Each structure stands twice: as C-alpha cells, then as structure tokens.
Structure 1
Amino acid sequence: MSAFLEALATAAADERGMVTTVPDGGSGGGDTRRHSWAQVRAEADRLSAALDGAGVRSGDAVAVLAGRPADIAPLAQAIWRRGASVTMLHQPTARTDLAWFAEHTAGALRVIGARWVVLGAPFDTGPFSAAAALLRDAGVQVLKLNELTAEATGSDPKEGPPASSPVPADAEVGEDALALLQLTSGSTAAPKAVRITHGNLWANITAMRQAAGLDPATDTMVSWLPLFHDLGMVGFLTLPMCLSINLVVVTPSEFLRDPLLWLRLISEHGGTCTAAPNFAYAVTARALRRAGGEGPPLDLSTLRFALNGAEPIDVAACRAFLAADAPFGLPATAMVPAYGMAEAVLGVSFHPWGTPLRIDTIDADALENRRLAVPVPEPVAAPGTGAATAPTAAQAAEPDPTADPDPTAEPHAGQRGAGGAGVDAVGVRQFPTLGPPLPGMQVRAVGPDGEVLGDRQVGELQIRGASVTAGYLTVDGPVPTLDADGWLATGDLGYLIADPAVATDAAAATDAAATTDAAETPDDRVVVVCGRVKDVIIMGGRNIYPTDIERLAEQVPGVRAGNAAAVKWRTPHGRESFAVLAESRQHDESGEADRIADGIRSAVTTELGVRPAVVKVSPVGSLPKTPSGKIQRAAAAGLLAGDQR
C-alpha cells in the first residue's frame, strides 16, 4: 500500500473531521454538519463496494463531476482504494452551454482514458440534469453517486448499508500508481492532464505540512475553494483528510454570495489556516470596509497562515486585507504569498509563515532592458497625499516605516503590486517574495540558452523534486515533462534572491536532517515570479509585462478589478505591440467606453512609456477565463482579432 493510502487509513482512527454546510436550496443560510474522518472512511467503504460492483479496477481513470465536499471526500477515497485515479472535472455554471460542456468534457475524458464519470449533486438533478444525457450521447458512461450507493448496499443511501454489507479489500497500490490526473487550465481548447502518482502526492503533502508548520492536534483549516482546482482538492481536502486535520469547508458559490462568510467561519471555528487567490483577499477587504463595523463581531486572532496564490499577487491587496482585518485581531504576519502549480502537485515555495510580508522593489529599466532585478528603495507616500514619490536622499538612507501609503485606500498607480507586476510612478516594480522552495524541491532560473543564472538574474524558472510530475497526457498521447537531469521548465519568468534569514533556517534544517542529497538540501534563496514567458511583450528591446499594463488599466474608474487583459498585438506594419481589453459595467453608456479607453491609454503611456495599439472596453463576462478564473490572454487576443477584421 502506498504511503498516501496508509495515511488515509490512519487518519480515520480519531474523531477529527470536517464541517460542511447542509444544502438549503441556494439561499446561503444552510446549517452545518460535522463528519469525522472515521465517518468519511465508513462512507468510502460503501462507495468502494459500489465502484467494485460497477467494474472499477486498479489502473482505471475515474472522473468526478460533483460539488459538495461531503460527497467528494469519501468518493475520492473510494476511487483511490480501488487503485484508480481521480480526475475532478471543471464544473458548468448557470451560464454554461451544456452541449458545449458535454463535448469538451468528452474530449478531456478521451485524453485521460476515463471509462466513467461519477455524477453527484448539484449536477445530477435540476438545471444540470441534462448534462448526464449529453455526456451519454457523447459516449461517456455516467454513474450517479446516489444510485451507486443504493445498488451497493441494497438500501436507501441516506440510511447506510446493512451491517452485513461486504467491503472489498483495497487494491494493491504502489508509489508509482496514478492518484490524480489534474486537468490543466491553459488557454487552448486542447485538453491536457498532469500525471500525479501516489509518490508525487505524498511528497508534496509532507513538504507542505513541514513548510506550513501544520499540527493536526491544534490546526483548523477553513476553505471555500473549488475542488476541481488543485489548491482546493489537494491543499484543502486531500491534505487535511490524510493528515487528520480539522477542516471547515463550504462551496465557492457560498463565498461569492457572501464574502464575509469566510471570515465568520474562521472566527467561529478558530481557523488557523486558509488559502485563496489574490482576488478573494481584495474582495473580502472591500466587503469588510463597506460593512463599517456592522454585523457579528469577528475574532481572527487564531489565523496564522493565509496562503495567497493561484494567480498574480497584488501587494496592495495583501496590505489592504491585513489592514482591514487588523482590528479583529488578525496577526500582521498571517499573509503567506506562495508559488505553485499542478505539475508539482501543488506547492513549490511558501513565504515563511509567522514573518512579515517581504516586498522586493526593483528598478523597472533594469528589469525590462537587462533582465536584472536591481533593488531600489521602496517609494514612500508624499505628506498629505496618497501618491507614491521617489524618496529623498535622506529617506533612502533612513527609511521611515510609517510612511507607507494607506493600505485600506483604493489602490492607485503608486501602490499596485503583483506576483507578476507592480507599477510605481517612480519607475520601479514591486513583487512579493514567495519564500524558499519547499523541502525536497529545487528551483533555478535559466537563460535563453539554458545557462543557469545567478541571484537577481531574470530567466525561466525550472523546478525539480520528488513531487514533480514526469509527464502529461495530451490529445497526442503521453508527453514527458522532465529533461535528462530531472528539471521541469515551468514557463514562468522569475529570479531568486539570497536571503540571510532563510539561509540561517536552511542551515539549521540541514544540520537536523544530516542529509547529503542535494535534492533534499534546503535552498537559502527565495523565489520571485515576474510573469509568463509566452506573455511578455517586446517593444524597442524592452520586456513589457502584461500584468504591469493590466494593473494600470484596472485603476481607471469604471474598469472591473481583475478584469483587464493585455495581449500581444501586431500592428499593420508588422511590429509587435499590445492591445488592452477591459470589462466595465458602463461599456454601453454614452461616452463612457471612450472615456475609459482614453484613461487606459493615458495611464499606460504615462507610467510605462508605451502606448497600446488597441483598447477595447467590453461588457461584464466577455473576457475568456479558465475554470479557476484566470484570464486566457491568447483566447482574448483571438476574440479581439475577430472583432478587428
């Protein structure tokens, strides 16, 4: 039995477990229900019998389309115990064309070789029930979760199995067996799945446990993340389930209806660990400010680890969240910017928890023209204004820690920062540092010719370690991901920084481990991500980062935060330039689209010294996004090209 499956079995020995909401028809006011990990294991016994009866065998691929964590947790366990792999399918919404969804899903299932889709609530009834018929029409074998349980037990699934129901023996599963086939969320229509073995999964879970300082006896994890995304499925369901950590979990729709529900759950349950994409921290901080102290009191003093990842990280959003929540006891060190990807199962590097945010402020010219991250003093706020200005000589020599811009104010050009871009009026860029590589993980930056780069030299990041996948499944068959030395090219641009504090911790960890294996030796450098290799716009020899442009566009009044895209664009003369697409609720109001477009042109030209070739203001929902909410720049460029013909 794999180490991961052994951990799942061990976790069922105590009464820790998860708290979920009871469906209430969508009003957002459902009660909660507790499920111990022992109860989850017992339900997995029933489902294992159901899957065995349906013919699921070791090595099979089983896809899951379900939305309720209380259903997904035992089902995933049952699939793994049968020796099969789990694929969480991207979920349709009320606006999804179900015929398109069925066709696209059938294509993904062919890539992973799945024989079954297990359909659970809310996708087995109501408006989504047509999906089952459409999937069957596309040649997919659909198994309904409630029917599977009833068939296996000979009873109503809500009542549980008769005492004599046989539970099939778990399959023999080794470390190289596939545990997850994680569908990636790229910008192309061709599906691709990351092959994650039991060994990969357990290596990343144990590394994240160490880096996050997780203690099953004292920690409580709180999440609303979608379970078809690796951050939710691995980080906030599989990890607590196999480490026997208490979990409080609701669905994304519940969070979107009421963002402050997230904070209330942390307060009510003494949550210590949570995670979300950057946008959620911005939305929650804004909702908290608007509440103006109304509503039930919050106690956020227990929250020590709030991971920020899965999309570019905005420095202003981090600061705004910390400031808005500080009156409720949130520790100033709670925010944990992180770097990760499905190809590493989930985590690659975490900012050291319990330490303040570290922002790397660098010279924009050196970044764009020489691919160097040259540090400069952080801009300070001019007295009586919110505008960032260049520090005086005295300020540069002796920075005033109280002179930071008000983090609770709406972000402007002098405050914006991100994991992929931070733009300031003084020609600097700001990036959050993302911590050292997790235990067992290595990260390096390489140049265009494959040469390994030194500190603060910008190049493509590569990763190596026990949790890194060996390959993808694609429409053209299996594709290896690693070079001859075991390195995976991430497609991310970034650099590394020597950090004395990390070096001290790393040295202590090395002494404690007494290891000579380079892959297990902690790195004394921290990771910084600038953007994606394929998205960089080259103009006049400068490397212009799309996220720089997007953050400026989002500051123009009327543009929806997080809904601007900067894409490569060819001028009629064949020169490389860029276009900007931005969503606005005022797009169809007289003169508003022109005002917004002019504002975007002015902001970008003033701050970056480059002018967009095209600016288009579009209605809400027009920008193509991945199921996890990331803007698909290539698809956006294709839509714009069609509009311009």
Structure 2
Amino acid sequence: MTTVAPGATVSEVGAETILAGPALPTGFLSLEEIVRPHEVTDRYVTVPDGSDTVRLSYRELMERAASTAARLRKAGLTPGSSVACVLHNDLGSVLTLLGVWMAGGGVVSAPPRSGRGALPGQGIAGVLERMGCEFFVSDEDSAELPLPPGARLLSQGALTERDSERHSVPDLSVPDNALVQFTSGSVGTPKGVVVGPTELAGHLKAVATGMELEQDRDRLVSWLPLYHDMGLVAMLLNGLAARIDVVLSNPTGFAKRPATWLTSLSEERATITAAPNFAYRLAAAVPYAPELDLSRMRVSLSGGERLQWESLLDFNRVAEPLGFAWGAIQPSYGLAEGVVGTTSTTIGRGPRLGPNGHVSVGVPLAGVRLKLRTGTEPVPVHLGGSSRFSGYQTTDGFEPSTGEWHDTGDAGFVYEGELHVSGRRNEVIALAGRNIFAEDVEAITHGVGAAQMRACAAFRDIEDDTRLALVIEVARQTDADEALALAREVRTSVIKLLGTRLTSVRMVRPGTIPRTTSGKVQRARCRDLISSDAIGSRVLAELV
C-alpha cells in the first residue's frame, strides 16, 4: 500500500488496483443543519431575482425559505413527499430547494427544456408517476413540463414571494429520498439517481475538505446551472455547507459572453469556482480588460467531461497574466451516482499530463474508493465507499444500489497513483489490440480546429460499428470551402495520431449538435439525428 496524497492510498489486491480516499471527517453538519443556518448573519448569498440581483444573509435566506416551507405544508406537502422542480439560477429556485427540505420533503431535480425548445423526455413523467411524485413547482405552462398524472402544479412565484409574516422553522428531518437527479447524458429510458441526506451531507464535507474551505477567507462564484449536479452540489450546496459567501449568475450570460466568467471572478474577489472543459476553452478565446485581478483564485474545479490539455494551456496563457495561477486549476472526476465528486488533484499543484495525452484527475475524495484492473490499458472504473447513491428511480420502480462496487460506465487507468479517465465505454472501438475512444478523436479535432469550430461529437458509425464517425459544428461565418478544408485536416490528423480512418466527417452549422443540460455533446442523439437524416439541411460539407 502506497500513500499518494494526504490520507489517500493506492494498493494492489490480486489483479486489481484499489484507490482509496482518506476517512470521511466526523462531526459534519447534517443536511437539516445545512438548510437552517440560524447563526450566520455575516455571510451572504447573491443570486439573480428577475431582472435584478438580490443579496441575502444566510439568516435572511433561512427566513425566506421557512416562509416557502410553510406554504408548501399548507398546500399539502407532508414529510417524505416528493417535489419536482426545474432548478434555475434564481432566488425562487434556491428558496424552493431549501423550503422543500425544511418542510420534510424530497427534491426531484427535473431537467429543463433544451435551448431549441425540445421538451424533457416524456419518460421522465413516467418515472415521476411511478415514484409517487405529488407536486411539481414551476411557473411554466403545464404542457411544457414532464408533469405526471395526478401531480399538482404549484406556482413557484406564489410559494417564494416575500412574506411580512415571520414563520418558525419546522423541526423536520429530510427524508431518505433527499435528492433525485436525472443523469444528464443518459440514453433510453431515463433514470433518477437517488441520494440520501446523510450521504449528501457527508459528501459535502468531503468536497469542502478537499477544497480547504475557510469561512473567513473564501468566496464562491458560479454560473453553472443548478439543474446539474456540479452547479447544485459542488457549488451552491457546498458553499452553504461551508458557510461562505456564494454568488450565482445565469448560465446564459456565460454562453452569450464567455468573458463574463473571469470578469465576475475579478469583480467579486472570488477564490472558488468551477466549470467543464469546454468553458475553459471558450474563456480562452475572448479578450479581457488588463486590469482584471484574479490573484485571489485558489480553486477552479475542472470536471464534467474529459479534460483536454491544450484547452488548459490556452486558458493559462490568457488567465495567468491576470493573476490566475496554474495551481488554482483543479482537475476532477465525478458522476451523479457518486453524489457529484469522486476524485480531484491536490490544491496548488495544477493539472498534470499523463500518458497518451490524458490529464490526471487525481485521487479519491474522503469516503470514496475506486477499483480498476491493474495495468496501463483503459479498463472499467468501479465506484465504492460511503459517498454513493442509494438507487435509481425508474418507470419500473425503485432499483436499489447493491453490492460493494458500482460500474461507472467509464474506462480509465492508474498512473503514478492517480486516476486518468479515457472516456465512456459505450463509444469505443478496438483497433489492433487497443481501444480508441470517441473522446480521443474529439481531443484531436479541438487541437486542429479550435479557432474554426464550436463543438464536435465522435461516435460509432451507424453502418459499421467497428469505426468512428465525426460531426463538427463550425463557428459562424465559416463557408463551405473552409469547412471542407478543416474536415480534411482533421481526418488526416486522426489517421496520423490514432491510426484509424473516420468513416465520415460532417461539417454542420452552429446550433446543430445536441447537448446535455450541462452543455456536453450528446453522441447518441447525434448518431440518431444522422440516421434519420434530420440534420441534412444543416450540413455545410461532408467527407465520406
């Protein structure tokens, strides 16, 4: 057994390698205590409220949430009831979240409509019905929601409006179905990942410990959407649990103007933030005012999708002159079944490049264990430990998580005691005895055409699943000739670096590639669009 980071170990048991995080700290706040911060009057949560922004102390936030809880109880919520809602980055959503827990209910975080107006999968309504979800909180039209039969629609505005009456905080426990999140990139019948209150609270302590959060020092700033686990758990709930200042903004602001992320970090004197790899890439491609001061940044999580070394280098070239230290970037790996975070690198070290272009995602957090077959080839990654989900909610009912280990669906390997994740195992081909992942092709594509493209998606070909196909979404103002030239350059680079020829490279217009609620490309849906010829009119150029 070898110690690879404070409290973390790596050991070999037979043909298997076990990575284990340190023991989970004892004495952490319960979820009930996290949402009832009676004592905190000098720390604040700043959050959008309509066209304005409001700043509430923790005590003021608790009082507003207590009012929401009272209205929910009056509407018929009883301890253990499930309440569905789409959590946006606004005051009403934060109050709904805390109010449901204060009233003894469980929160079901439903996915939003996509930017193209598509509704959430209708299967979600079936899951909500099967689990007995009694309420859906929203101000949207019921026809635009996955509202199950028999569920009651409650107005978020009416539940969370300011109340002159002072309400006592209910002394109720959060139920076992504390939080249900739908995995963002799931295919087929949707599943809700169920996390219990003890597992959620303990994991928040593990994440805060890994970030070394201090109440008198840290200030968390995030644009990540609350309907995704990184935005909700790693950012908002982690900040509340640590009793630090939290500043939220709308994700659409970053999407339209990527410079707003670093600009807000400077204006708010932030020390903590997080974003997926694509955000670092976008943030590196825009100009900034030279007076920005990012020297206070201590932790900037990078997770949610495979990290690309070139994207991190590009980001560093832009951000370092503004004071953003390389050591503040903290690569991580996680999944909803592990609450949110599973591994991260050591604070202050910065990203580290491993074999074959893979960026290390560090060692397990407190209470987390990982199991992989020993070797240097990518193999299935299995999750164990105390920070795990309790089961899935499906259209067939509740499926409990059983056994010591959960198959994450990812492949990875251990190098120098740290985890390196290669990609999803459902998008991989075998070539001459080695595996080539969709993420390998996408990384090369971004390296070749970063300035000319917005996104790309690689996936097993429809007619020949032993090979990969590629769709590239070009930047605006790109014409057909430029798109075709880029397609040829990408295909040549993939042959040279991976030794495989793509069956096709389709260059499509902006807004074509479907994405998950967290902004990641959806490879399976992209394949479906091509098989049905649904994107035919949006193709600028094609190589076959």
Q: TM-score range by the shorter chain?
A: 0.7 to 0.9
Instruction: Kindly indicate whether residue 53 of structure 2 is the aligned counterpart of residue 35 of structure 1.
Output: no
- Which residue of the other structure, out of 55, 74, 80, is the alignment partner of 2:95? 74
- Are the equivalent residues in 2 in contact too, given 1:461–1:491 (CA < 8 A)? yes
Q: Which residue of 2 aligns with 1:436?
A: 363
- Are the equivalent residues in 1 in contact too, given 2:92–2:157 (CA < 8 A)? no
Q: Which residue of 2 aligns with 1:252?
A: 251
CA 1:195–1:558: 2 relative to 1, 3 Å? closer
- Are the equivalent residues in 2 in contact too, given 1:102–1:131 (CA < 8 A)? no
Instruction: Kindly indicate whether residue 473 of structure 2 is the aligned counterpart of residue 583 of structure 1.
Output: yes
Instruction: Kindly indicate whether residue 377 of structure 2 is the aligned counterpart of residue 462 of structure 1.
Output: no
Secondary structure of the corresponding residue to residue 253 of structure 1? helix
Superposed CA deviations along residues 560-609 of structure 1, whole A, max 9, x for unmatched, are 645211111265xx672221112225799454554343333222122222
Superposition deviation, residue 131 in structure 1 = 4.5
- Which residue of the other structure, out of 343, 346, 360, is the alignment partner of 2:340? 346
Instruction: Kindly indicate whether residue 493 of structure 2 is the aligned counterpart of residue 598 of structure 1.
Output: no
CA distance in 2, matches of 1:632, 1:107: 22
CA 1:560–1:109: 2 relative to 1, 3 Å? farther
Instruction: Kindly indicate whether residue 409 of structure 2 is the aligned counterpart of residue 491 of structure 1.
Output: yes
Give the counterpart letter for 2:311 in structure 1: A
Q: Which residue of 2 aligns with 1:179?
A: 178
Give the counterpart letter for 1:617 in structure 2: M
CA distance in 2, matches of 1:475, 1:190: 8
CA 1:105–1:33: 2 relative to 1, 3 Å? same
- Are the equivalent residues in 1 in contact too, given 2:40–2:57 (CA < 8 A)? no
CA distance in 2, matches of 1:430, 1:110: 45
Structure having the larger proportion of residues in strand? 2
Superposition deviation, residue 359 in structure 1 = 1.1
Superposition deviation, residue 438 in structure 1 = 0.5
- Are the equivalent residues in 1 in contact too, given 2:225–2:250 (CA < 8 A)? yes
CA distance in 1, matches of 2:141, 2:270: 38
Superposition deviation, residue 65 in structure 1 = 2.4
CA distance in 2, matches of 1:105, 1:314: 33
CA distance in 2, matches of 1:259, 1:543: 35
Superposition deviation, residue 69 in structure 1 = 3.2
Worse overlay, 10-19 or 341-350: 10-19
Superposition deviation, residue 41 in structure 1 = 0.3
Superposition deviation, residue 341 in structure 1 = 0.8
CA distance in 1, matches of 2:316, 2:478: 36
Q: Which residue of 2 aligns with 1:113?
A: 132
Give the TM-score normalised by the residue count of structure 1: 0.73
Instruction: Kindly indicate whether residue 329 of structure 2 is the aligned counterpart of residue 329 of structure 1.
Output: no
Give the counterpart letter for 2:132 in structure 1: G
CA distance in 1, matches of 2:107, 2:300: 27
Superposed CA deviations along residues 322-359 of structure 1, whole A, max 9, x for unmatched, are 22111222223110000111111111111101113211
Superposition deviation, residue 53 in structure 1 = 0.6
Give the counterpart letter for 2:41 in structure 1: D
CA distance in 2, matches of 1:551, 1:34: 40
- Are the equivalent residues in 1 in contact too, given 2:66–2:170 (CA < 8 A)? no
CA distance in 2, matches of 1:137, 1:343: 24
Secondary structure of the corresponding residue to residue 260 of structure 2? helix
Worse overlay, 82-91 or 109-118: 109-118
Q: Which residue of 2 aligns with 1:62?
A: 83
Superposition deviation, residue 550 in structure 1 = 1.6
Q: Which residue of 2 aligns with 1:420?
A: none
Superposed CA deviations along residues 74-132 of structure 1, whole A, max 9, x for unmatched, are 221111122211122222255314xx44845534422543211111xxxx3xxxx4346
Give the counterpart letter for 2:125 in structure 1: A
Superposition deviation, residue 306 in structure 1 = 0.5
Q: Which residue of 2 aligns with 1:275?
A: 274
- Are the equivalent residues in 2 in contact too, given 1:52–1:168 (CA < 8 A)? no
Superposition deviation, residue 233 in structure 1 = 0.7
Q: Which runs of structure 2 are paired with 1:93-242 in the superposition (5 Å)?
A: 93=114, 95-97=116-118, 100-101=119-120, 103=122, 105-119=124-138, 124=139, 129-131=140-142, 140-149=151-160, 157-158=161-162, 160-163=163-166, 166-167=167-168, 169-173=170-174, 177-242=176-241
Unaligned ranges ≥5, structure 2: 1-27, 537-544
Structural RMSD (CA): 2.7
Superposed CA deviations along residues 356-403 of structure 1, whole A, max 9, x for unmatched, are 32111x2xxxxxxxxxxxxxxxxxxxxxxxxxxxxxxxxxxxxxxxxx
CA distance in 1, matches of 2:454, 2:357: 18
Worse overlay, 612-621 or 196-205: 612-621
Q: Which runs of structure 2 are paired with 1:46-61 in the superposition (5 Å)?
A: 46-61=67-82
Superposition deviation, residue 142 in structure 1 = 1.1
Give the counterpart letter for 1:23 in structure 2: G
Give the counterpart letter for 2:195 in structure 1: I
CA distance in 2, matches of 1:536, 1:102: 26
Q: Which residue of 1 aligns with 2:395?
A: 475
Q: Which runs of structure 2 are paired with 1:424-573 in the superposition (5 Å)?
A: 429-445=356-372, 453-454=373-374, 456-483=376-403, 486-498=404-416, 525-557=417-449, 561=453, 563-569=455-461, 571=463
CA distance in 2, matches of 1:260, 1:232: 19
Instruction: Kindly indicate whether residue 309 of structure 2 is the aligned counterpart of residue 315 of structure 1.
Output: yes
Q: Percent identity?
A: 29
Q: Number of aligned pairs?
A: 508
CA distance in 2, matches of 1:458, 1:133: 42
CA distance in 1, matches of 2:164, 2:382: 49
CA distance in 1, matches of 2:448, 2:249: 34
- Are the equivalent residues in 2 in contact too, given 1:12–1:41 (CA < 8 A)? no
Superposition deviation, residue 468 in structure 1 = 0.7
Q: Which residue of 2 aligns with 1:631?
A: 521
Give the counterpart letter for 1:433 in structure 2: S
- Are the equivalent residues in 1 in contact too, given 2:453–2:474 (CA < 8 A)? no
Superposition deviation, residue 12 in structure 1 = 4.5
Worse overlay, 316-325 or 15-24: 15-24
Superposed CA deviations along residues 264-307 of structure 1, whole A, max 9, x for unmatched, are 2222222111000111111112113xx4x46xx21111101010
CA 1:340–1:560: 2 relative to 1, 3 Å? farther
CA 1:475–1:331: 2 relative to 1, 3 Å? same
CA distance in 2, matches of 1:239, 1:142: 29
Worse overlay, 538-547 or 39-48: 538-547
Superposition deviation, residue 531 in structure 1 = 1.0
Superposition deviation, residue 557 in structure 1 = 4.5
Superposed CA deviations along residues 174-216 of structure 1, whole A, max 9, x for unmatched, are 6xx2210011123424211111000110111011111111111
Give the TM-score normalised by the residue count of structure 2: 0.86
CA distance in 2, matches of 1:202, 1:66: 19
CA distance in 1, matches of 2:432, 2:133: 48
Bigger-Rg structure (1/2): 1
Secondary structure of the corresponding residue to residue 203 of structure 2? helix
Superposed CA deviations along residues 417-474 of structure 1, whole A, max 9, x for unmatched, are xxxxxxxxxxxx21111111111111121xxxxxxx2364531111111111131111
Secondary structure of the corresponding residue to residue 5 of structure 1? helix
CA distance in 2, matches of 1:260, 1:205: 29
Give the counterpart letter for 1:75 in structure 2: T
Superposed CA deviations along residues 52-87 of structure 1, whole A, max 9, x for unmatched, are 011111121111124243222222111112221112
Q: Which residue of 2 aligns with 1:421?
A: none
CA distance in 2, matches of 1:117, 1:138: 11
- Are the equivalent residues in 1 in contact too, given 2:448–2:490 (CA < 8 A)? yes
Secondary structure of the corresponding residue to residue 528 of structure 1? strand
CA distance in 1, matches of 2:468, 2:429: 7
Give the counterpart letter for 2:35 in structure 1: L
Q: Which residue of 2 aligns with 1:4?
A: 31
Q: Which residue of 1 aligns with 2:13?
A: none
Higher relative contact order, structure no. (Cα contacts within 8 Å, ≥ 6 residues apart): 2
Q: Which residue of 2 aligns with 1:396?
A: none
CA 1:456–1:256: 2 relative to 1, 3 Å? same
